[in-house]
Amino acid sequence: MSIALRRSEVAERDSTRHLTIPELRRARQIIATEGQLASFVPEGGFSNELEALNAIGATLGLTVVDLSKETPEESLLNDFPVRLIHRYNIFPIRRTEDSITLAVSNPFDVQAADAVAEATGVFVEIVLALPHEVGAMIKSHLGVGAQTLDGLIAQTEESSDIEVIGDLEFDESEASTMAQEASVVRLVNDILVEAVAARASDIHMEVQATGLKIRNRIDGVLQTQPVPPELNRFQAAIISRLKIMAHLNIAEKRVPQDGRIKIRVSGREVDIRVSIIPMLHGE
Q: What is the pLDDT of residues 232-264, one digit of tens each?
A: 778 888 888 899 888 998 888 889 999 999 988
In a domain, 282, yes or no: no
In a domain, 233, yes or no: yes
Q: Examine the domain organization and report whether 109 and 129 are in the same domain.
A: yes
Is there a contact between 100 and 123 (Cβ–Cβ < 8 Å)? yes
In a domain, 81, yes or no: yes
**Cα–Cα dist 192/165, whole Å:** 14
**Cα–Cα dist 236/244, whole Å:** 12
Beta partners for residue 92, in sequence order: 102
- Amino acid identity for residue 79 in this structure: D
In a domain, 92, yes or no: yes
Cβ neighbour number for residue 5 with a 10 Å cutoff: 15
Which of 88, 115, 142 finishes a domain?
142
Cβ neighbour number for residue 278 with a 10 Å cutoff: 12
pLDDT digits (tens, 9 = 90+) for 186-208: 788 888 888 888 888 999 998 88
Q: Examine the domain organization and report whether 138 and 11 are in the same domain.
A: yes
Angle at 266 between CA 260 and CA 271, to 5 degrees: 15
The CATH number of the domain where 247 resides is what?
Answer: 3.30.450.90
In a domain, 14, yes or no: yes
Range of the domain at 228: 148-276
- Amino acid identity for residue 60 in this structure: L
Q: Examine the domain organization and report whether 110 and 183 are in the same domain.
A: no
In a domain, 32, yes or no: yes
**Which sign, positive or negative, has the C-alpha torsion 140, 141, 146, 148?**
negative
In a domain, 1, yes or no: no
Q: Examine the domain organization and report whether 188 and 231 are in the same domain.
A: yes
Q: Examine the domain organization and report whether 49 and 138 are in the same domain.
A: yes
In the chain, which residues have pLDDT < 70?
Answer: 1-16, 142-161, 167, 171-172, 174-176, 178-179, 228-230
Question: Is the entire prediction scored with pTM above 0.95?
Answer: no
Which of 126, 142, 158 finishes a domain?
142
Number of domains in the chain: 2
Closest residue by Cα to residue 260 from 275, 272, 248: 272
Q: Examine the domain organization and report whether 27 and 110 are in the same domain.
A: yes
Residues with Cβ within 8 Å of residue 100, at least 6 apart in sequence: 92, 94, 116, 120, 122, 123, 124, 125
pLDDT for 4 equals: 44
pLDDT for 1 equals: 33
In a domain, 205, yes or no: yes
- Amino acid identity for residue 154 in this structure: A
Q: Examine the domain organization and report whether 22 and 119 are in the same domain.
A: yes
Q: Examine the domain organization and report whether 189 and 134 are in the same domain.
A: no
